[in-house]
Amino acid sequence: MRGQITDISATDAKIRIRDSGDIKGTPGVIVEGEIGRVVLDKGVICTKRHIHMSPEEALSLGLRDKDVVMIKVKGVREVIYGDVLTRVSPNFRMDMHLDTDEANAAQISSGTVGYIEAIQHRNYV
């Protein structure tokens, strides 16, 4: 389920902004609709902006899992996003995930291209 900060602030939920995949100790949710009900015991977070990429893509860009980069997106409302977490896995392909509010503010839509401007810092494990 994807959402935005605006959606969260309209609820009583105490949702924290976290790294992608960091769901330890998070609240759950029950979502009901016309075709059924989904119950999650945990995992409700608002993710920090992040990029998924394969190990091959990361290697070609000189990046590692959990590096933090700056991304420039050109367009009508050009913007540079800082503190973008890099997530690397064989199950991923290049894809940047933004909060809906952030994307809308810059008039970004699916398929928009961004460019890595800088590596802000590396998180060696």
How would you class 108 by CB atoms within 10 Å of its CB: exposed for 0-12, middle for 13-18, buried for 19 or more?
Answer: buried
On the CB side of 48, CA atoms within 13 Å amount to 17
- Of residues 113 and 5, which shows the higher confidence score? 113
Residue 2's pLDDT is 45
* Overall pTM surpassing 0.75 (yes/no): yes
pLDDT, one tens digit per residue, over 39-56 is: 999 988 888 999 999 999
Fold adopted by 48-125: Barwin-like endoglucanases (2.40.40)
Please name which of 40, 39, 45, 51 lies closest in space to residue 21, comparing C-alpha atoms: 45
Residue 107 CB contacts under 8 Å (≥ 6 apart), including other chains: 75, 76, 77
pLDDT tens, 83-92? 999 999 999 9
Query: What's the rounded mean pLDDT across residues 15-24?
Result: 85
DSSP state of 48: P
Q: Map out the domains of the chain as residue ranges.
A: 1-47, 48-125
